[in-house]
Amino acid sequence: MRGLLDRPAPTASAALTLRRGAARVLLDNWTGTSTVPSRTLYPHQWSWDSAFIAIGLRHLSARRAQRELESLLAGQWADGRLPHIVFNPALPPDAYFPSPDFWQSSRAGRTAGAPSTPETSGIVQPPVHALAAWLVHRADPAESRRRGFLARAYPRLVAWHDYLLTRRDLGGGGLAAVVHPWEPGMDNSPCWDGPLQRVDPAAPDAYHRADLNHGNPADRPTDLDYGRYVRLAADYRDAEYDDHAARHRFAVEDPCFNALLIVSESALADMAGELGRSGAPHTARAAELTRRLVSRLWDDRSGLFRVRDLATDALVDERSVTGLVPLAVPHLSRDVVKRLHETLDGPHFKAPATQLIPSYDVTGHAFDPHRYWRGPAWFNTAWLIHRGLRTHGLTAQAERLRQGFLAEAGRSDFAEYVDPVTGGGRGARRFSWTAALTLDLLSA
């Protein structure tokens, strides 16, 4: 695979240096079957990470990008869910917590159809996978057809979406709910603070936080929050991952999660057409989901989408980047797009030191420029918002965001995220989705 680094690209010398650096990160983080987000902090395969990684890998090797997604799909459960972690059996159990011994997927998940191998977690992450699969196919359609990539991936992705829109429609409003703060991918967002108050934390001596072995405690979720995460995961496991039988003390409808479901439904329509089937059911479902997203989660007063807490059936009064990601949905009304654009340009998401978008309102009561999703600016959400800006013809702002993204990726050594106040890189370095999405924006 060394030749991937030398593959010519139509780019200036500075961009070529950035491209080679990004490619090196992905090569170094490749395990032989998939790509780890980070060799230290995240040593297994993560669900939405692999989707973003495949989007970048397609610019180096379409076949490797296909294998990235196929490896993840091999961990799919019979009920359709794609677990948020597929564990590498070659690693020791204490390489990450919660470990396979905690999730017990092959035992506790047997009724829900968990595979006997590989071991996985029992929760999910945002459904960006169909979009990734479609972009990977388009990178080299001949290779994709030769390998039957779409023909094998399509029914699995349909089953994944069906799971979310049946078993996870916990609010009865036609949107997918998440039942753990790790599921929407924005682990310790202030949006979860209120709903988490209902959760008693697990005892501190019941687990050991492996994340603090490699991460700065000032950057990571607090011990109190982490104890609540462990309690929720243990309760879900003890209910055998049955979405109807489990007592969900945390259940919310998240804008980013559902927006990516809409975008991926549109990708399934494109896949169906490529496979000689009708894409109309997916197009109709995307349109209905868009209507439900707006009717249930749009807050015109604040100009962004909000999280709905299903225990109270009320919108959570926090401004988060999750409320801006629906800009990626293609058929929003002009009024909604205009209001989102205004919010994106307004004081709540204007970072002093970066063109990237803070993960939380910089004027908000819970803003913390260092602590994970409570303020730092992330590269994956910037990529999604860039895609949304281009989708709706806001090309000048999209280009500013693209240039800012590339500058920060290079300056921070492909950091996990960036301090929006100082511009300094935070979290893990040589982070795979940062490198992968850098490759994609270099090719835009």
Dist. CA 203–CA 230, nearest whole Å: 9
Dist. CA 60–CA 253, nearest whole Å: 36
Dist. CA 276–CA 440, nearest whole Å: 28
- Cα Rg of the chain (Å, integer): 20
Q: Which member of 187, 225, 254, 309 is catalytic?
A: 187
238 a catalytic residue: no
Closest CA to 324 of 310, 335, 337: 337
Give the pair of three-digit tokens for residue 370.
Answer: 């260092």
187 a catalytic residue: yes
Give the neighbor-by-neighbor strand order of the sheet with 252-253.
Answer: 252-253, 308-309, 314-315
Closest CA to 76 of 101, 54, 45: 45
Closest CA to 270 of 443, 150, 119, 106: 150
Closest CA to 303 of 276, 340, 265, 261: 340
Q: Which member of 49, 183, 416, 440 is catalytic?
A: 416
Q: Do 123 and 83 meet the contact criterion of CB atoms below 8 Å apart? A: yes
Residues identified as active-site: 187, 416
